[in-house]
Amino acid sequence: MLNVSTTFNIQHSTFNIQHSTLQRRPTMSTLSHTQTKDRPGLRLQLNDEFIEPLFVALTLAGIAAGLITEQLGAPAGVHLAVNLATYVVGGFYAVRAIIAALRERTIEVDLLMVIAALGAAYVDAWTEGAILLFLFSLSNVLQGYAMRRTERAISSLMELRPDTVTIRRGEQIVEMALDEVQVGDVVLLRPGDRVPLDGKIQRGSANFDESAITGESMPVQRGEGAAVLAGTLNINGALDMLVTKPASESTLARIITMVSEAQSRKASTQSFLDRAEQYYAMGVIVSVLLFITLVPSIFGVPFSENFYRGMVLLTVASPCALVISVPAALLSAIANAARKGVLFKGGAHLEELSKVKVIAFDKTGTLTFGHPELTDVLPQPGVSAEDLLAAVARAEQPSEHPIARAIMAYANAQGLSPAEPEQFAAVTGMGVRASWDGEETLVGTPRLMAQAGVDVPAEMLAEMDRLADEGRGTVLLARRGDRWLGMVTVMDRERPDAAEKLVALRAAGIERIVMLTGDNARVAEAMGRRLGIDEVHAGLLPEDKLRLVEELGAKYGPVAMVGDGVNDAPALAAASSGIAMGAAGTDAALETADIVLMSDDLGAIGYAVSLSKRTQRVVWQNIAFAMAVVVVLVISTLTIGVPLPLGVVGHEGSTILVVLNGLRLLAYRG
């Protein structure tokens, strides 16, 4: 019934994504795929796009010719030949689909349609059978056309990749194909150029329009050393860019793969409907058989009149609209989201998100910017600020944690370039332990100290609380050997729009907002109060976050966890919807989450929630409408009787309406 299988043929071989969204004919499409690859001149797929509508038109012409030959009283042989020809062009694609499906031991609704048309011919209602085939194939062409619109979201992403790239190799400037560019090559970018691969700016600076990747419309300034992503637009700079990833691994490449995979991954409603369709179709065939054979003998109705009615029944009871109702909505929603930098990894995640009652936020990098800065260096009496900073910086030197980077940035600004410690261990959610010159240095939370078996003096703990209450940010203790060196404070700026965006989430139907953080309780609670968060859990280790997500789920219903996707991976996996934020460029986040926000705009969460709810509504509207039409038509056929052409119009009409209703989601703005 659906005949949508599109193959994207991009010049770059790394990019031959076989996209088969609603692919109900895997064998055919695979065939055409390999053909196009080997012999670019032969494009079976493309041909189908033109030939199928042509066949529809020929069917209509055949119907007209049949009527004319009948009127003119042409010989029976001619009349029969015209009718047969009409059936062949009208039924060609349906039969092809039936064969492909039967090979996979499944039944397509096409089968019911073809049987009904043959049945009509059997009782000499050739014209009505031909009208059935005409409307059915017309409806398929229209559906295919409509559904291809959702795929444009992906093909437009692919257009963001230039074919050739300008490279500097030594003194030479060369143009080369995207695929041939290697990691370590230097790409020249002129104003107005799309960035072809992921890389790092080596020379120059520019404003970048990153909206294609992150959905964020404000241009951002990027200078030397900054990472830039393939698909973003260099607005105004002349730059040298060092390539850091091959074309096939760029963020853009992964987005494209992910979105096309998402479209073929089925939501649970859909897989349920697919399974139900098989039984239903069998049920319809069996019922109609019984109807044809039993009714005439029981009620004494003439056989051929009853047979005709059986064929109408077969047509109107087919679940065409039901089959397309879910994918029409989900694909449009996934495509809409992808354009706004929100990647759903499958229809199932739209469904899950629409049910979410509670959202749990990681604090660092989510509610805050995640780029902390060192604000205070507070040595103990008898220790100099320089010694404290030097020790803390050396201990943090190997750490990747944002706090460590803040400390290093400050130390570098002070002219320090600490050596690597001799031994180093990061203690997740607590801090670091590092050793040199035979002494161990600890930097982190009181818990880290407790774990190392040292008691923190009461006056230091009191001082920590006081600093936290002043809102000085995260306070870290530092100890070297058996001597307390002092504290440093690190401040992460809250996103200015956080409170407002959380209010919007409640408007979108989220009942409870929770903060889960590894940071100090006082710091976290102060922020929680400012943002109007319902529950704050602080001092958590990654495994505590996981446990809390499960507890929240048991208490309030489905939970979404929003995190940076790196140290929050277990909690993201445990949540019914794991949402990674600010994922452009971070590989881990793209992998772990169910839903990926390319930008780090909190507003995207509200948009995603609203979109998922709207999508679920459209899905249920479609299912209800499709079933209602079937029920009404079946009852009418059994009672007052419905002519076959009218039955077909009602049936195909409802199918088209369901598709159009789903397509509305392409225009959703949130």
Q: Provide the binding-site residues for ligand ADP, judged by CB under 6 A.
A: 362-364, 396, 399, 401, 403-404, 426, 429-432, 443-445, 474, 476, 517-519, 567
> What is d(CA 338, CA 336) in angstroms, rounded to the nearest whole number?
6
Contacts with 535 (C-beta within 8 Å, 6 or more apart), sequence order? 512, 513, 514, 515, 528
- Measure the CA–CA gap between 247 and 268, rounded to whole angstroms: 34
Q: Candidates 314-322, 346-354, 359-367, 478-486 — which segment interacts with Mg ion by CB under 5 A? A: 359-367
> Quick one: what does residue 429 bind among Mg ion, ligand ADP, none, with the CB cut-off 5 to 8 Å set by partner type?
ligand ADP
From the CB of 474, what's the least distance to ligand ADP, in Å?
5
On whether the CB atoms of residues 516 and 548 are closer than 8 A, the answer is: yes
User: In the complex, what is the shortest distance from the CB of residue 588 to ligand ADP, in angstroms, rounded to a whole number?
Assistant: 14
In terms of CB distance, is 234 or 517 closer to Mg ion?
517
Question: CB nearest Mg ion: which residue?
Answer: 364
**Contact set for Mg ion, span 142-181 (CB under 5 A):** none
If you count DSSP H runs as helices and E runs as strands, how many of each does the chain have, helices first? 22, 24
Handedness of CA 515, 520, 525, 526 (dihedral sign): negative
The reply on whether position 364 binds Mg ion by CB under 5 A is: yes
**Closer to ligand ADP by Cβ: residue 195 or 523:** 523
* Interacting span for Mg ion (CB under 5 A) from 96-104, 140-148, 325-333, 358-366: 358-366
Report the C-alpha gap between 451 and 147 in whole angstroms: 58
What is the bridge-based pairing of β-strands 206-209 and 233-234? antiparallel
Q: With respect to Mg ion, which residue has the nearer C-beta, 59 or 364? A: 364
Q: Which does 517 bind (CB under 5 to 8 A by kind): Mg ion, ligand ADP, none?
A: ligand ADP
Type of residue at 88: V
Q: 401 touches which of ligand ADP, Mg ion, none (CB within 5 to 8 A by kind)?
A: ligand ADP
Name the segment binding Mg ion (CB under 5 A); options: 175-183, 361-369, 408-416, 593-601: 361-369
Among the listed residues 110, 362, 492, 594, the single catalytic one is 362
Q: In angstroms, what is the minimal distance from the CB of 563 to Mg ion?
A: 6
Q: Tell me how far, at minimum, the Cβ of 581 lies from ligand ADP, in Å.
A: 12
**Cα torsion angle, 644, 650, 651, 653, sign:** positive
Q: Which listed option, ligand ADP, Mg ion, none, makes contact with residue 430 (CB within 5 to 8 Å by class)?
A: ligand ADP
Judged by beta carbon, residue 316 or residue 538, the one nearer ligand ADP is 538
Q: With contacts defined by CB under 5 A, name the span among 192-200, 294-302, 364-372, 599-607 that binds Mg ion.
A: 364-372
426/491 with CB nearer ligand ADP: 426
Residue showing tokens 């004319």: 68
Question: Among Mg ion, ligand ADP, none, what binds residue 662 when CB lies within 5 to 8 Å by partner kind?
Answer: none
250 binds Mg ion (CB under 5 A): no
Number of neighbouring beta carbons within 10 Å of residue 348: 19
How many other CB atoms are there within 10 angstroms of residue 599's CB atom? Answer: 22
For the CB of residue 586, give the shortest distance to Mg ion in the complex, in Å. 12
Distances 331 to 242, 274, 334 between C-alpha atoms, Å: 36, 16, 5
534 labelled catalytic:
no
Stretch near Mg ion under the rule CB under 5 A, chosen from 172-180, 363-371, 378-386, 462-470:
363-371
Q: What is the DSSP string of 137-196?
A: HHHHHHHHHHHHHHHHHHHHHHTTS-SEEEEEETTEEEEEEGGG--TT-EEEE-TTPBP-
Q: Which residue is nearest to ligand ADP (CB)?
A: 518
Paired sense of beta strands 512-516 and 206-209, if any: unpaired
Task: Tell me: does residue 654 bind Mg ion (CB under 5 A).
Answer: no
Is residue 432 packed enough to be buried (19+ CB in 10 Å), middle (13-18) or exposed (0-12)?
buried
What's the half-sphere exposure (Cβ side, CA atoms, 13 Å) at 12? 21
Closest CB 540 distance from ligand ADP, rounded Å: 6
127 binds, among Mg ion, ligand ADP, none (CB under 5 to 8 A by kind): none
Decide whether 358 or 476 has the Cβ nearer to ligand ADP: 476
Give the residue with the Cβ less far from ligand ADP, 527 or 623. 527
- Which three-class secondary structure string do you get for 338-393? HHCCEEECCHHHHHHHHHCCEEEEEHHHHHECCCCEEEEEEECCCCCHHHHHHHHH
The two most distant CA atoms of the chain are separated, in Å, by: 117
Rg (CA), the chain: 32
We find the least distance from the C-beta atom of residue 369 to ligand ADP, in angstroms, to be 12
Specify the residue, 17 or 581, whose C-beta has the smaller distance to Mg ion.
581
Residues lying near Mg ion in the complex (CB under 5 A): 362, 364
Instruction: Write out the catalytic residue numbers.
Output: 362
